[in-house]
Amino acid sequence: MQHDDHHHHHDDHDNHFSEMQARVKALETVLTQKGLIDPAAIDAIVETYETKIGPRNGARVVAKAWTEPDFAEWLTRDATAAIASLGYTGRQGEHMRAVFNTPETHNLIVCTLCSCYPWAVLGLPPVWYKAPPYRARAVIDPRGVLAEFGVTLPESIKIRVWDSTAELRYLVIPERPSGTEHLDAERLADLVTRDAMIGTGLVSSSGDVR
């Protein structure tokens, strides 16, 4: 499997530590040695932002698309503007495209040259998203990768893989699960996971990850 260490975008999101990240790591080590911080506590905070607080913005975008056809149409036409209208802009979320799952098509997001990720709507990128094995195999064998995430799709469903770049980031709008007609947008947002908005998960009416 070829690593892409020689590829660089005009951004600071390559797989290796940037100078700033290296400084942060060094500082964290010193503070840990002095007993001033607990690495486990930091890990817990990072995980919260990665899986809960960060993706909450994207979950609200999805729920609004499910409940307001005009907003869904705006997302289709100009996702950057539609998402910005909710106040979600900023780092690596300036140029967005929304791709909608349907009964016939499932969308999967990858960035083969880097870890391009729309922080404004998905929070911190998970470690596996940056990993070369995911980045390479998601393009070559998307059905197999999805199966490893617990998402087994019928052969009749086409899988489209979207390659994010430094200029354009993607957000998957998963299908709204049946049996949720009585839920308002905020309750619907509770069901939407980060993985579903990358395409490595599905949304269930019970709020399970898969």
Residue 116 annotated as binding site: yes
Residues recognised as catalytic: 111, 114-116
Mean pLDDT over 180-196 rounds to 94
For residue range 154-170, list pLDDT tens digits in order. 999 999 999 998 889 99
pLDDT at 123: 84
Helix 54-67 × helix 69-77 angle, to 10°: 120
On whether the CB atoms of residues 183 and 210 are closer than 8 A, the answer is no
Is 0.85 topped by the overall pTM?
Answer: no
Q: What is the pLDDT of residues 18-47, one digit of tens each?
A: 676 677 677 777 777 777 777 776 666 666
* pLDDT tens sequence across 101-113: 999 999 999 998 8
What is the spatial distance between Cα 12 and Cα 21, in angstroms, rounded to a whole number?
Answer: 10
pLDDT for res 174? 98
71: left (phi over 0), alpha (psi -120 to 50) or beta: alpha
Residues in the chain: 210
Q: Which of 159, 110, 116, 167 is nearest to 135 (CA)?
A: 110
- Asked if 15 and 114 count as a contact pair (C-beta separation under 8 A), the reply is yes
Could you give phi then psi for residue 159, rounded to 5 degrees?
Answer: -105, 125
CA triplet 131, 200, 173: central angle to 5 degrees?
125
Q: Which residue has the higher pLDDT, 10 or 76?
A: 76
Q: What phi, psi does 113 have (nearest 5°)?
A: -105, -5
What confidence tier does 1 reach under pLDDT thresholds 50, 70, 90?
very low
Residue ranges of domains in the chain, CATH in brackets: 19-198 (3.90.330.10)
Which pLDDT value is given to residue 11?
44
